Structure 1
Amino acid sequence: MAGTGKSTIAYSTCGDFDINDSRDPAIVRAFLGASFFCSRQAPDLRNTGNIIPTISYQLARRCSSFAASLRSCDDDVVRQTANMQIRELLINPWKRLVDSRDARLPSALVVIDALDELDSDDGEAFLSCLVTAAMDATQYSLAGLKILITSRPHPKIAKLVSDLSRKTIFRLEDINKQDTDADIRTFLDKEFRTVKTLSLSDHELTQLVNRADGLFIYAVTLCRHIMPPTAIEMLTAVDVRKALEQLINVENGIAGGEDLAVDALYRQVVGNMLEKSSRARRENEARRILHSILIAARPISLDELTALVPSINAAFALKVIDLLYSVIYVSNGHIHTYHKSFPDFMLNKTRSNSTFCGANSPLHLALYQSCMSIMTKSLRFNICDLPSSYLFDSEVEALPNSVKTNIRGVVGLEYACRFWGHHLSQTRSGEESCPAHTLDIASLRADAKVLEDIYGTIRMFLKENVLYWIEVLNLLEARSECLNAVEKLTSWCQDNNAPQEILDAVALVARLTTSYLHSPASQSTPHLYISALGRELGVTGSTAQGWQTLFRRLPTIGFQGDGAALSVIKTNSAVTSVAFSQDGKRVVVTSVAFSQDGKGVVSNSKDNCIRSFNPPSHWKVDSSGWVLHPYALEGISVSHMHRLVWLPPSICDVLGGSPRCLLTISRRGRATLNFSSAKLGNDWAQCYTHS
């Protein structure tokens, strides 16, 4: 259950074992090696793929022997599954250092909080992988490594840990209730004493402790609601007692029911805000503000809120946030909820009643449409003015400032690019939604026109902006979010029977994003166009989106493989063998064979010679698949090996011949690569022609 103090325990444990300069590691049994606090409110903190890389990095900084062991790991592991990360970045490196580690050293403690906050059911999958990897290792091989994990009793997680030793599991609900009540009582007594002349009797404290029913979040929210931190100096004992009396009267209204006292507290907090907004005849707007904050994919700023929901007035939104001070706060310019139990309450129709905000609220549709509108207005080709296609993004010194100005500096653009897919995926029909009177948006299942409007925005996005969207997410290093958005778009289109031409266009985008973002080409954003799009247009001959008219100066890349006939020559007799003589002499060839790698040919002939043929190549291909060129091409420096284009192994394996236009015949197929009309290097942006 939320609010019992799991995260508080995790924080306290980290504090207790975080050894600083004043504490001697030799006299403590353990030290904090690493920590990760999962949170639904931040995409990076609810992404399973970030946990182990973060843990390993922190642990390496605090444990030199672990750092040394970690150096032998493949860098590409950070892009692998959680199971692979656990084994290759945590378990195996620790096993390698055990033999050389002094047994007298304190154990390294790793703390992972709130697994239930991860996306989907990833918490259960992550814990399963971790438990399996740990059990596969011997007890000795993990000596000196301790791991503390906290989570709500999600059914799948609870089932998984039920098979573990009882010594490894601690359930907060098993704590003696008297101990919990005593802690809550101590907290309440201390908080109420901050108000001058106020002293609650034992009976009054006991009443509040009983209402908390073991939930620390109730006690914390109660104090914050009754004694606003910003007004604590002006509060009197009379003010506090009056607020307490009002709260208790409300809660008594649900006495004998199954509701939690914290639900009554949340109802009063939200109800007070709506009542004050109603006096100004702005209750519906207040609901939209609160619901938008709750269903946003991450904490948003006030500017983002008004950009995403244009009907919201910024000044009024600030008033609503102020009225919800006990459950919502602003930090670093972004709006957060204090505790996950509040969104849980609001998203549960049974608990929140008339204040309910459905997980599949029609407001998601409005947010999706706003995201599309923002991207349409703000996305453009080469948005950060990258200077050369020969450079990796990491080699462009001005790029961080350019991203800050041209992407993050445009209100709502980063949010729109990252989360339009999330909001689209929530516009499903047949789900519970917010009360119609609060949102003035037609239900999808009742309004076919809305569905057609969505199809229209998808068509426009895929035709005009999808490439620039991929560009932005690559610059933001949000590649997994790009791939996830395409997956959500695909699923939504299939679930809603989208027209075939949309399904085909989505499949094309899925192929392009996968080939680009999973390749070394993604290290250089210009190669979204030069390498990935050039290959897509050349190899598949795709013309569906009209991209070939916008990008006319790309390299021409062609490939035909899978044993297809390259050419057919008719003869008047049977052909037993074919080969070209290296010295130009006409010789009877008796047999021909390819080399094992398919790049060379060897022949036997009647002049008692065995000849080998290796196609001459002026291209240099590095181990990552980048085609490099050492020769001068239209002003390119002869001394520099430029990254011309990235190609997959299936094409790289058959490269050879002229740097201008090559043709190689191999049993693996035929590849053509033509730069005659391509714009590269400092001129790369000229590959784009505005329509």
Structure 2
Amino acid sequence: MKQIPIELVIPALDDHVDKLLVQPWFSASEAQLPIKPMLVVIDALDEIEKEEGSELVKQLIQAVSISKGLHGLKFFITSRPHPRIVDECSSIDQKAVYHIEDIDPKKASQDVRHFLDAELADLPSWRRENVAAESGGLFIYASTIVRYLHPPNFPLSTNQKAKRLDMLKTTGHHATRLGEQYELLIDSLYKAILVEAFPDVGHEVEISKRVLYCVVTTRQPLRISDLAALVVDATEEADDEAVHNALKSFHAVLYISSRDQCIYTFHKSFPDFILDPNRSPELASPARSYFCRSHT
């Protein structure tokens, strides 16, 4: 395949799909190169910056519709129902569109259960079954539970994992059906994680809160050194180590990317939870205030 100039990747161009996908695919076909069937997975299309997810799916639909030679290439795309993305997808055969609320919870729970069996094999099967049932078929709930039970650099025993699961039951109620009371389901888990992340240990906890607020409100992902400069008072020196330690307490919901060393949330539902005064009144107001202060 021919080389693609890097300037076609950064910044984004209107002909990305044609230059980076359609033309190379045709070139390989014309050269009679062996091409195996390929599935391209694009997750969280709605989270692309500047709402460019709708433009990407528009280009993909046009490419598949016009280019009859893309044999062996399929796309699996996930997204929240952003209005512009929904509008662009209106031309797709409805048989190829799946809505999460229409998926049988039992089928979704089977996939969740397989995941839990692999990730929490040391727990008794009845505990894994309980987590699968509580997830209501929502993978984000199950994957957050798994991360919560696997703190970095601090492995928990089977009994300690079980205690953590028992503690979750005291933080709120859980939905039991897919699509029903979604916020109530995931919010109870997020609240339990934050209760543990914010122990009453004095001024140090303030750094953790500032780190959290900064991550969920900044327009661009930041590195630890960037965060360290933002979360200290004007009279203090930046403390990278303190920020790194604070991030460890949020390991179930935040991560440092190995690609660019920036901090990201695992799922958009977490910043949505933090910034919604109805879902997280004790955190939403300070977070919004911090956003206004840090962007003035």
TM class, shorter-chain normalised? 0.7 to 0.9
Distance across 2 between alignment mates of 1:127 and 1:326: 30
Sort the Cα spacing of 1:88 and 1:143 in 2 relative to 1 into closer, same or farther, 3 A.
same
Sort the Cα spacing of 1:300 and 1:176 in 2 relative to 1 into closer, same or farther, 3 A.
same
C-alpha distance after superposition, 1:546-600 (max 9, x if no partner): xxxxxxxxxxxxxxxxxxxxxxxxxxxxxxxxxxxxxxxxxxxxxxxxxxxxxxx
Q: Which one has the bigger strand percentage?
A: 1
Say if 1:346 and 1:357, in contact at 8 Å, map to a contact too: no
Say if 2:58 and 2:88, in contact at 8 Å, map to a contact too: yes
C-alpha distance after superposition, 1:3-51 (max 9, x if no partner): xxxxxxxxxxxxxxxxxxxxxxxxxxxxxxxxxxxxxxxxxxxxxxxxx
Say if 2:134 and 2:174, in contact at 8 Å, map to a contact too: no
Distance across 2 between alignment mates of 1:173 and 1:127: 22
Distance across 1 between alignment mates of 2:56 and 2:231: 36
The correspondence for 1:342, drawn from 270, 282, 286, is 270
The correspondence for 1:244, drawn from 165, 173, 177, is 165
Aligned residue in 1 for 2:121: 193
SS in structure 2 opposite 1:152?
Answer: coil
C-alpha distance after superposition, 1:497-520 (max 9, x if no partner): xxxxxxxxxxxxxxxxxxxxxxxx
Asked if 1:363 is matched to 2:286, the reply is no
Asked if 1:126 is matched to 2:67, the reply is no
Distance across 1 between alignment mates of 2:11 and 2:250: 42
Q: CA deviation at 1:181?
A: 1.1
Distance across 2 between alignment mates of 1:249 and 1:161: 42
Q: CA deviation at 1:89?
A: 5.0
Asked if 1:265 is matched to 2:265, the reply is no
Distance across 2 between alignment mates of 1:158 and 1:105: 32
Sort the Cα spacing of 1:76 and 1:319 in 2 relative to 1 into closer, same or farther, 3 A.
closer
Give the gaps of 5 or more residues in structure 1: 1-63, 368-422, 428-691
Corresponding letter in the other structure for 2:225: D
The correspondence for 1:83, drawn from 5, 8, 14, is 14
Say if 2:257 and 2:264, in contact at 8 Å, map to a contact too: yes
Q: CA deviation at 1:211?
A: 1.5
The correspondence for 2:111, drawn from 164, 178, 183, is 183
Asked if 1:304 is matched to 2:232, the reply is no
Asked if 1:208 is matched to 2:131, the reply is yes
Say if 2:208 and 2:247, in contact at 8 Å, map to a contact too: no
Asked if 1:291 is matched to 2:213, the reply is yes
Sort the Cα spacing of 1:162 and 1:318 in 2 relative to 1 into closer, same or farther, 3 A.
same
Matches within 5 A, 1:566-585: none
Say if 2:134 and 2:176, in contact at 8 Å, map to a contact too: no
Say if 2:112 and 2:139, in contact at 8 Å, map to a contact too: yes
Sort the Cα spacing of 1:229 and 1:323 in 2 relative to 1 into closer, same or farther, 3 A.
closer
Q: CA deviation at 1:229?
A: 4.7
Corresponding letter in the other structure for 2:232: P
Q: CA deviation at 1:111?
A: 4.1
Q: Bigger CA drift: 165-174 or 316-325?
A: 165-174
Asked if 1:225 is matched to 2:148, the reply is yes
Q: Which has the higher contact order (CA 8 A, sep 6+)?
A: 2
SS in structure 1 opposite 2:272?
Answer: helix
Say if 2:207 and 2:232, in contact at 8 Å, map to a contact too: no
Say if 1:113 and 1:151, in contact at 8 Å, map to a contact too: yes
Matches within 5 A, 1:54-65: 64=1
C-alpha distance after superposition, 1:84-124 (max 9, x if no partner): 343455435655775x3549853455443332121232111
Aligned residue in 1 for 2:47: 117
Say if 2:174 and 2:184, in contact at 8 Å, map to a contact too: no
Corresponding letter in the other structure for 1:207: N
The correspondence for 2:246, drawn from 320, 327, 337, is 320
Whose Rg is larger?
1
Corresponding letter in the other structure for 2:15: M
The percent identity for this pair of structures is 29
Corresponding letter in the other structure for 1:112: I
Corresponding letter in the other structure for 1:363: Y
SS in structure 2 opposite 1:329?
Answer: strand
Distance across 1 between alignment mates of 2:71 and 2:77: 18
Give the gaps of 5 or more residues in structure 2: none
C-alpha distance after superposition, 1:132-173 (max 9, x if no partner): 3443x252x444544443333323222322321245444555
Asked if 1:150 is matched to 2:78, the reply is yes
Say if 1:347 and 1:358, in contact at 8 Å, map to a contact too: no
SS in structure 1 opposite 2:81?
Answer: coil
SS in structure 1 opposite 2:132?
Answer: helix
Q: How many residues align?
A: 287
Corresponding letter in the other structure for 1:83: D
Distance across 1 between alignment mates of 2:34 and 2:158: 56
Distance across 1 between alignment mates of 2:19 and 2:245: 50
Say if 1:291 and 1:357, in contact at 8 Å, map to a contact too: no
C-alpha distance after superposition, 1:320-361 (max 9, x if no partner): 3232232233455543433333223223232222122688x3
Corresponding letter in the other structure for 1:235: S
Distance across 2 between alignment mates of 1:364 and 1:328: 18
Q: What TM-score do the two structures reach when normalised by structure 1?
A: 0.36
Q: Which one has the bigger helix percentage?
A: 2
SS in structure 2 opposite 1:349?
Answer: coil
Corresponding letter in the other structure for 1:345: F
Aligned residue in 2 for 1:388: none
Q: CA deviation at 1:247?
A: 0.8
SS in structure 1 opposite 2:14?
Answer: helix
Distance across 2 between alignment mates of 1:119 and 1:80: 12
Distance across 2 between alignment mates of 1:219 and 1:206: 11
Distance across 1 between alignment mates of 2:265 and 2:39: 29
SS in structure 2 opposite 1:350?
Answer: coil
Matches within 5 A, 1:506-655: none
Distance across 1 between alignment mates of 2:174 and 2:19: 56
Aligned residue in 2 for 1:164: 92
Corresponding letter in the other structure for 1:260: L
